Chains A and B, each alone.
Chain A
Amino acid sequence: MATETNQAAEKEGWGSQLGLVLAMAGNAVGLGNFLRFPSLAAQNGGGTFMIPYFISLLLLGIPLMWIEWGIGRYGGKYGYSTSPGMFEKLWNNPLAKYLGALGVFIPLAFVIYYTYIESWTLGYAVMSFTNQMPSIAGQTPQEAFATMGNYLATYQGTNNESHLSGTTMSWLFFIITLGTNLFVLSRGIAGGIEKMAKIAMPLLILFAIIVGIRVLSLPGAMDGVAFVWNPDFSRITDGAVWLAAAGQIFFTLSLGTGSIETYASYLKETDDVVLTGLATSSMNEFCEVVLGGSIAIPAAAAFFGPGAATAIANAGTFNLGFQTMPAVFSGLPGGFLFGGIFFTLLFFAGITSSLALAQPAMAFFEDEMKMKRTRAALVVGAVMLFGCIPIVLWLQYGFLDEFDFWAGALLLLVFSLIETILFFWIFGAKKAWDEIRKGQQINLPGFFFPIMKYVVPILLIVILIKGAIDGMIPRITFQTWQDLPGWSRDTATVAQRILYEFGLAGRQLVENTGDLPNFWYRWGARIEMLVIYIMFIVLVSIAWKKRGGRNREGADA
């Protein structure tokens, strides 16, 4: 169509293949590479975790990445940088564009809360470099851990007496982080995102190597390495380990957010996606397995002793990043410098991801709503700012946690399943396969064809079912363990466990006490996300009506 061709001709593009790879890798590399992977590996059989991990990379991660790149480049050919238009090209059905709206809503909802977490890394970096982190001189490791826990709570404002969290410092760094994101986004693809990636990614790797060498030189650090890598072959037959591996591969490559499609849409029709996609994945794995596996857990083991390694691994990403690691660095000579470097690398990992997550919304407002880039950045910024206010203010009541579950986990799986079925089943497997291989700079082996068509959707369905049983059902029945006063996963009776697993614990509590803590906050978060999605449904509808009008004008001309 003439209108689509004109749009395609005006589209931005990447300056170089290397710049694209660094930007895509930046999208993938995030806090999880350095904080989540080592904990997960340690908890799931150590070295043997690598077996399901690499098999998942081969059967799910890389094939799905190629699918997303293929969809993006294909849609970009017709002038579409976001998934509403892309999905409509794959499936000529009025529903397609509204399914595609997920690919704009999900990354925006994700980046709303992710930017706040990213701002913590900036705040911690500045506090470290300026030697303002609390001193732990003379403290035992237990006391140091508690000191840093208090510091985090003070920074976030969750331990004040007020009902509301958020402090001057947390707001300040959030505004600076948001402003930096918007500034880069307003400079466009080559002039903004690519330039940032070319600076941030090499520095990230350099900083990780510096910190890694420092950590591995600590006495006791090799205990942490052993904790991550010593194999426990008894776990290899545990289905939960395989699912954990598949889940980690899915999330570490930032699949299912719509951002890969958007980035790929700026490619030319005959630009390679096979080699470039593989390079992106390999860089992500380098950051995760080689660098990520060498820093956090070894540091924790060196400082707290090997006995605490299990508990620290189980305590989660935030505790590891913002409590354990600051305690470790505070106890080191020159620790303010290494701590500053560590949190700066986390900030680089975060900002390259947040730029990718915000770009689909940017592209949507520019391309479909015909906004100039600066105005689009302001609109996206306003949504991110106002969308994040409840998250900052009600952090301790589960607002961020709720966003993280839906927009940071479950919906990514849903979107990935939709796009895979659209591309390989509705658009056509042969067409999809040929589309991915266009312009390939390395030969895509034929065995990936049945993997993309059959294995990827099956694996996504399995992970989705597990996620629904483990996470969604308890949530939509208004309960999680932290919402149920007096209930604890560790001390629950058999009866309580049964009630919980079947989603009845929350209702039981309401009957008994008439009140569910966090109930309104969690529903507030869900309503906020729903409002954002409905907003994009309406905007898609408006954009398509306008597009229909422009097409009629073009046909008449």
Chain B
Amino acid sequence: MITAMILQSTEPIHMTGGGWVFIAAAWVFILTLTFYTFGKILGKK
């Protein structure tokens, strides 16, 4: 099935505004949480 579908459509899928909002929100949330927690762990040394 995969080989049949490969190159079936070359119509590009563009990032929509919603896509950018979701990826930005997710990345910001995760990076903030990561820096916050690791900052606290490393900062108390």
A residues with a Cβ closer than 8 A to B are 17-18, 21, 46-48, 50, 54, 140-142, 145-146, 220, 222-223, 225-227, 229-231, 275-276, 278-279, 282-283, 285-286, 289-290, 293, 301, 304-312, 315, 319, 441-442
Contacts and interface: CB of A to CB of B under 8 A. Distances in A.
B1 A311 contact: yes
Interface in B1-44: 1-3, 5-16, 18-23, 25-27, 29-31, 33-34, 36-38, 40-42, 44
Interface residues of B, number: 36
B34 A226 contact: no
Contacts of A286: 30-31, 34
Contacts of A229: 15, 19-20, 22-23
Contact of A141 (B6, B15, B40): B6
A290 B2 contact: no
Contacts of B13: 223, 226-227, 230, 301, 306, 309
Contact of B9 (A21, A47, A305, A441): A305
A304 B41 contact: no
Determine chain B's interface SS by DSSP, over half rule.
helix
Given A47-B23, A222-B15, A276-B41, A306 B6 contact: no
A441 B21 CA distance: 32
B41 A308 contact: no
Most buried by A among B12, B23, B42: B23
Contact of A142 (B6, B21, B33, B40): B6
Contact of A17 (B7, B31, B41): B41
A142 B15 CA distance: 26
Contact of B21 (A47, A275, A311): A47
A290 B30 contact: yes
Given A47-B21, A47-B22, A146 B5 contact: no
Contacts of A47: 18-19, 21-23
Contacts of B8: 305, 307-308
A275 B2 CA distance: 44
Q: Find the residue from B10, B11, B19, B27 having the highest chain A CB count within 10 A.
A: B19
B5 A306 contact: no
Given A278-B33, A279-B37, A282-B34, A289 B6 contact: no
A306 B12 contact: yes
A503 B27 CA distance: 43
B22 A50 contact: yes
A311 B5 contact: yes
Contact of A275 (B9, B26, B37): B37
Nearest to A21: B41
Contact of B38 (A142, A225, A279, A441): A279
Contact of B44 (A46, A222, A227, A441): A441
A48 B23 CA distance: 10
A539 B8 CA distance: 57
6 nearest A-B residue pairs (beta carbon): A47-B22, A307-B9, A279-B37, A307-B8, A230-B19, A282-B33
